[in-house]
Structures are given as C-alpha cells and as structure tokens.
Amino acid sequence: DSGVTQTPKHLITATGQRVTLRCSPRSGDLSVYWYQQSLDQGLQFLIQYYNGEERAKGNILERFSAQQFPDLHSELNLSSLELGDSALYFCASSALGGLAADTQYFGPGTRLTVL
Amino acid sequence: AQKVTQAQTEISVVEKEDVTLDCVYETRDTTYYLFWYKQPPSGELVFLIRRNSFDEQNEISGRYSWNFQKSTSSFNFTITASQVVDSAVYFCALSEARETSGSRLTFGEGTQLTVNP
C-alpha cells in the first residue's frame, strides 16, 4: 500500500458527460501528479500540483482540468467525455516535487470507461 | 526532448531463470533521475528504484539488480532466479531536473514479463 488513495476505483459513464476523480496524497506529501494510462498512448503525464499551485503541465486536454485543495487532496475533472478518454488514471504524490525529482508513489488508479 | 525506450515488449522465461530488462534513455541534461516501476496484474504501479545521474554505482536488492551506464545511456534491470510472482509489466522512467518541467516522469512503453512455472 503506497499510502495514496484514489476514488472511485471504477467509473462507467457515457460520451458527453463530466466526471471527477479524487486523490488523497500520502501524509506529508506536498506534490500531486496525474497520469493517464491507455493502450495506444502508454503512461502519459498530465499535470503536477505543488502545495496548491500548478507546477507543470503535460499533454492534458483542454476538456480536462485539475486542482489541489488546501488539505492537499486533488481532483481531476474530465468533461465532454469521448470514447478515447477511456483509460486508467493514476494519481501519484511525492514529498516535494522540486528539481530533485523525489520518488513518486502511485495510487491504485481509477478505471474510466466511456460508453 | 526526453525519451525512454524499452525495446523488449514481452519476455517469457521459466521459473529460476535470470532475466534482464533493457532501458535506454535520451536526455540533453546532465542532471536527471531514472526510475523503475512494476505493474502487477492487479494494476497498481509499485516503485522499485530511483537513481540520479551522478551515481553510476550498480545496485542490488535481494534478487533485483540494476546496471546504470551513462556511456550507453542505459539503465538495465536484472531479476535473478525469477519467480512466478515476478510476472508483471515493468516500466523504466526518466525525470529531468528542470524548472519548466517540474518533476514529471517520462515512461517507456513497458516490458511484459511472464514467468512460467
């Protein structure tokens, strides 16, 4: 158990809908990361937050947004869902997330299926 | 741009065989960090090792060992006396120490290891 929690574990929804994925980092960790794992794209970095502020952005679609709250939990919002958004979404956390690239510990993931 | 290549898509071995998973990386930076993660059939990503670019010492942890060679930009992973529980997808990843890129991980495509009894 990495100490990172993600809810829900599975999510099935329809095209055009909006969903919210939730992540709680390990106790004491300030950085939260979101990654998408799909068959065609592999594991892709989406976005990083550090202590409530956006730190780095990857290949995140405009239909997707994220935020980190004062209690350091994070939410990833996916809207206008398309079939191609079906994937496993991972949250990870690390103590600092600065230039020293400290170890990221991953949650169990949320499996999103868009029908 | 940074890139990680795991040329072996699938490897199948018989229990107790030794197996090496290859990882080749590309980066323009002199300071960077390399990682290995394991993804068992249950789906979670399990951290195995982190290595910075200034530390080329090989590392051994039980049946696992890692060989880091900057000259060939490789960070290979060897499992000695493999066991059925080692069956998983293994990912190599790279993180550059840049202000603009944060601490993002760039992953390779992964190697599916199957250990048969």
Q: What is the pLDDT of residues A39-74, one digit of tens each?
A: 889 999 999 999 999 999 998 999 999 999 999 999
CA of residue A72 relative to chain centroid, distance: 13
Q: Please indicate whether residue A15 or residue A1 has the higher confidence score (pLDDT).
A: A15
Res B97 pLDDT > 80: no
Place of tokens 């400290």: A102
**Chain A closest CA to B96's CA: distance in Å?**
8
* Cβ–Cβ contact B54 with A under 8 A: no
pLDDT of residue B49: 95
- Pairs across A and B, CB distance < 8 A: 75
Q: What are phi and psi of B73, to 5 degrees?
A: 50, 50
pLDDT of residue A99: 67
Residues 23 through 52 of chain A touching chain B, CB cutoff 8 Å = 31, 33, 35, 42-45, 48, 50
Amino acid residing at A1? D
**Quick one: closest CA in B to A103, which residue?**
B50
Share of chain B above pLDDT 70, in %: 97
Q: Report the SS3 class of residue B47.
A: strand
Name the band, by pLDDT with cuts 50, 70 and 90, for residue B6: very high
Q: What is the mean pLDDT of residues B52-78?
A: 93
Q: What is the mean pLDDT of residues A1-20?
A: 96
Q: What is the mean pLDDT of residues A66-87?
A: 97
* Cβ–Cβ contact B27 with A under 8 A: no
Q: Report the SS3 class of residue A81.
A: coil
pLDDT of residue B57: 86
Q: Which of B5, B89, B103 to mutate to test the interface with A (most CBs of A within 10 A)?
A: B103
Contact B24, B73 (CB under 8 A): yes
Lowest-confidence segment of A44-58, A89-103, B27-41, B53-67 by average pLDDT = A89-103
pLDDT of residue B106: 95
Q: What is the mean pLDDT of residues B83-105?
A: 88
